[in-house]
Amino acid sequence: MGLGYINTRTLSEHTGRLSGEEQYASAEDSTSNSLKKQDTISAGQSGVVTPLLVGAVADGVATRPTLHETGLPAAVSGSGVPRRSYDSKALPIRTDGSLDYDALYEDESDNDLSMESHGSVVTHLLSQVKIGMDLTKVVLPTFILERRSLLEMYADYFAHPDLFLRIADLKEPRERMIQVVRWYLSAYHAGRKSSVAKKPYNPILGEIFQCHWDIPELPTGDEATNVEVKDGPVPWCRRDQLTFIAEQVSHHPPISAFYAEHYNKKISFSAHVWTKSKFLGLSIGVHNIGQGTVTLCDLNEEYIVTFPNGYGRSILTIPWIELGGTVTITCPQTGYRADIDFITKPFYGGKKNRIQGEIYGPNDKKSFISISGEWSGLMEYKYNDGSKPSKFETFVDVNSIPIFKKKVRPVAEQDENESRKVWREVTAGLKANDIEKATNAKFQVEQKQREEAKERKETFGEWDTKYFKGIGESWIYTTPLLHRLTLEKRDSKR
């Protein structure tokens, strides 16, 4: 659910994960005895990338691939170390001659590579897999890397933070459920500008991403009340800002957890996601496991959402991605619920990116609202219960509403495990189209992860997450807004 945007939108794909605890590398890696490639599988046209197709590419680079092995044009330095020399024509350079990493990440332009040039790699892959095979057991080649981490991509769920915050303003449970569905359906279209959808960096264990949004259209307090939320997920942000934090909490399986909150609106969202993928012939199917929860703190109300599956289609020609399957949104406290079908395109004819949704009242078998349209464009709704005229009206048109740009603190101020700092040299190499630089820098990141994992194994140490804790099969933010507000109320009564 966001970044430089275009109207024709698709999603990025993720495909497979290598089993085996002895190999610890991020999921873009692809190494096998017969094929060692280090770039990324392209997953669609029109450049929109979604987190829900991420995290399915196999892990495991046993040795550093050479430029000969990548099959991509570049001069071989043989150093194995990321070069620090930069071409000022290709990359943003500060006045002191250093690389401006912040401008690099904010640059939404892209270098599109020819799909045809990688046909032999895809053919080689297809020769090694069978229909129905679980791709978590297959190491896949990859072609084109998105210049950011999956954890940053999860922030795309809040490309329209105003729709999310409006949930907390509505007085009736029925209207709140409608708004939850509206926000949820608006969250799948945002992505980077590109003619080819790309795969983000799969996060290393312990990686963190933090950001926030300003929403000037929704004033929520004055200067006296908008103090920094020191115990919040982004402690340098104020009460009138929507804040976001994500953490890679597990490597096998690769689980990402993320959390967002707005203190003044007393609303939060917490989620965890990981994927399983299967080879389907000329397609790849990605099953998303996990859920998210919208919490309205003042009402003690929760809305539990699930996620659609993803499918990478036409992987031998011009790949494109679609969403499929039924998702649910339920509120245990009020009894309202919604079922939303993400409809896959028929083999012949039909439209892409279609959805059909129904919203039900407590204990009702017939929906009071029907929704239809395209999650990448216009969605319409009509009332079925006679409360309003039974005709379709605009529910949300994602191409006509503003996308709010997230704000990230400068790379120079970030901790070593924050996404943009972790991957900065890989990002620089990709932006400069210097595949050798990107490959070497990426190897350095992953090698450090492997060494740390080996050390933990030898000392029987366990990885300790920082911001999320595992409870059963779920991952929960350790200090959610509801918990902190409850403590504030208790302390104020003393």
Q: Which helix (H) or strand (E) holds 128?
A: none
Output the pLDDT for position 276. Answer: 79
Q: Please answer whether residues 475 and 291 qualify as being in contact, where contact means their C-beta atoms are separated by less than 8 angstroms.
A: no
Output the pLDDT for position 116. Answer: 56
Q: Which helix (H) or strand (E) holds 248?
A: strand 242-250
**319-342 in b/e burial notation, b at 16+ Cβ within 10 A?**
bbbbbebebebbbeebebbbebbb
pLDDT bucket at 134, cuts 50 / 70 / 90: low
d(Cα 167, Cα 165) in Å, to the nearest integer? 5
Output the pLDDT for position 124. Answer: 64
The average confidence (pLDDT) of the chain is 77
CATH number at residue 132: 2.40.160.120
Residues spanned by the domain of 364: 123-492
DSSP label at residue 251: T
d(Cα 52, Cα 154) in Å, to the nearest integer? 9
pLDDT, tens digit (0-9, with 9 covering 90-100), for 228-253: 999 999 999 999 999 999 999 998 88
Sequence-separated (6 or more) residues with CB below 8 Å from residue 139: 16, 18, 29, 30, 31, 32, 58, 59, 60
pTM: 0.80
Sequence-separated (6 or more) residues with CB below 8 Å from residue 197: 10, 11, 12, 13, 42, 43, 44, 45, 46, 47, 48, 49, 191, 319, 320, 321
26 occurs within a structural domain: no
Over range 112-137, report the average pLDDT: 62
3-class state of residue 350 by DSSP: coil
Output the pLDDT for position 81. Answer: 41
More confident residue, 33 or 216: 216
Q: Please answer whether residues 39 and 8 qualify as being in contact, where contact means their C-beta atoms are separated by less than 8 angstroms.
A: no
Q: Measuring CA to CA, which residue among 442, 437, 416, 407 is closest to residue 105?
A: 407
Say if residue 3's pLDDT is above 70: no
15 occurs within a structural domain: no
Euclidean distance between the first and final Cα of the chain, in Å? Answer: 42
68 occurs within a structural domain: no
Q: How many percent of the chain have pLDDT more than 70?
A: 70
Q: How far is CA 334 from CA 169, 366, 418, in A?
A: 17, 17, 39
132 occurs within a structural domain: yes
52 occurs within a structural domain: no
DSSP string, 202-216: PPPTT-EEEEEE--T
d(Cα 406, Cα 241) in Å, to the nearest integer? 11
Q: Please answer whether residues 178 and 185 qualify as being in contact, where contact means their C-beta atoms are separated by less than 8 angstroms.
A: no
Six-digit token string for 74? 């570049």
Parallel/antiparallel/unpaired status of strands 196-197 and 354-360? unpaired
Output the pLDDT for position 354. Answer: 93
3-class state of residue 467 by DSSP: coil
Q: Please answer whether residues 13 and 197 qualify as being in contact, where contact means their C-beta atoms are separated by less than 8 angstroms.
A: yes
Six-digit token string for 197? 């959808």
Output the pLDDT for position 14. Answer: 35
Identity (one letter) of the amino acid at 172? E
8-22, 106-120, 175-189, range with the lowest pLDDT: 8-22
110 occurs within a structural domain: no
DSSP label at residue 279: E
253 occurs within a structural domain: yes
Six-digit token string for 146? 């998105």
Output the pLDDT for position 136. Answer: 58
More confident residue, 451 or 197: 451
Identity (one letter) of the amino acid at 233? P
Say if residue 143's pLDDT is above 70: no
Could you tell me if residue 221 is left (phi over 0), alpha (psi between -120 and 50 degrees) or otherwise beta?
A: left
Number of folded domains in the chain?
1
Q: How far is CA 199 from CA 110, 134, 141, 280, 486, in A?
A: 13, 19, 12, 19, 40
Over range 371-382, report the average pLDDT: 95
Output the pLDDT for position 65. Answer: 42
Q: What are phi and psi of 261, to 5 degrees?
A: -150, 155
pLDDT, tens digit (0-9, with 9 covering 90-100), for 413-455: 999 999 999 999 998 888 887 878 888 888 899 899 889 988 8
d(Cα 306, Cα 311) in Å, to the nearest integer? 17
Instruction: Please list the alpha-helical segments (H only) found in 85-145.
Output: 101-106, 119-126
DSSP label at residue 51: G
Could you tell me if residue 409 is left (phi over 0), alpha (psi between -120 and 50 degrees) or otherwise beta?
A: beta
d(Cα 386, Cα 383) in Å, to the nearest integer? 7
Which runs of E-coded beta strand occur in 331-392? 337-343, 354-360, 369-374, 378-383
Q: What are phi and psi of 27, to 5 degrees?
A: -75, 0
76 occurs within a structural domain: no
pLDDT, tens digit (0-9, with 9 covering 90-100), for 40-96: 333 333 334 455 554 444 443 334 443 333 333 333 333 344 445 555 557 888 888
Output the pLDDT for position 435. Answer: 77
